[in-house]
Amino acid sequence: MSPNSEKSINKTDNNSNNKKNLKNTRDKRKRVNRIKYGIIITVTVSILVALISVICLIVAVVKLNSRLDKIEEGSSTKTASNDVSVVNANAQNNVITPDGTDKTNVYLTFDDGPSDNTDSILDTLSRYNVKATFFLVAKEDQASKDKIKRIANEGHSVGVHSYSHKYSDIYSSLDAFKNDVSSMVNYLEPIIGYKPKLYRFPGGSSNKVTNVDIQDCISYINSQGMKYYDWNVSSGDAVSNAYTADELVENVMKDVLKYKTSVVLLHDANAKGTTAEALPRLIETLQAANVNILPITDSTPLVQHVEAK
């Protein structure tokens, strides 16, 4: 074999090897890229799954907190307001018989104020010359205190509802209950100028969330010279914001004329604008039914879901 032929063969082999090495290098790069992209995709998917899981967890926690808030602020009230028949000894005597000539006394009561709707409610009550009863919660801002002062100055009855309005705190123990009541009395007295004697249990005396024997709570209320009032007529605004103003009026009117003493549950809260909207028509409808609309006083017959033993 000539030297030229040998060189030609070596050159061909080198070219072949170079091509093979180049192909191997390219294949290796492709494998590395595939692995790299696979890792990137896996990490990205993992991050997205984790992010979605965190979002779902946050949503679940928010929904749970919302439900717990409803339990604390409304579910106990819902339990009682769906069953507004009183269970004390005077309940049967309070029912108006078909042939009776008794005139219904109606007591409009507003829980949870003061709120953004308080002034509107008071303006309506003033316009119709009607006095009502407000079971209040503590709010430390001056605007709220001014609204409470206006309630008292305009001749409405003022009662204690709760200082904190957190059911889990109020009913955690008898001492906690006593502290909530006394704190609210001490809060109200310098604002309204007298010691309040009316009380409404958060959720009603028939609430289902208390960890304390309600009879012990009742004994304490009575020992303070206070009277507690539940309700036997509900507007429905405690359990739903979906009712229209007309529906709230209808909810009241379907029951209010059944009793000699009708204590109506309404709410004065930021989310209860429909209640304030319904109030003028409610008063007009009650006045057309020839009832007395009065504030609760010491002489008002007791309307209680649970009576003292």
User: Which residues are tagged catalytic?
Assistant: 111, 267
Cα 202 from chain centre: 11
**Separation of alpha carbons 44 and 169, rounded Å:** 45
Q: Specify the residue for token string 């123990």.
A: 173
Burial of residue 119 (number of CB atoms within 10 Å: 0-12, 13-18, 19+): middle
Paired strand residues for 127: none
The angle subtended at Cα 147 by Cα 207 and Cα 291, nearest 5°, is 65
Buried b (16+ CB within 10 A) or exposed e, 68-95: eeebbbbbbbbbbbeebebebeebeebe
Spell out the residues 6+ positions from residue 182 whose beta carbon is closer than 8 angstroms to its own: none
Q: Specify the residue for token string 């269970």.
A: 87
Peptide bond preceding 114 in cis form (omega within 30 of 0)? yes
Cα 114 from chain centre: 15
What's the Cα-to-Cα distance from 231 to each of 14, 109, 177, 263, rounded to whole Å?
102, 9, 21, 5
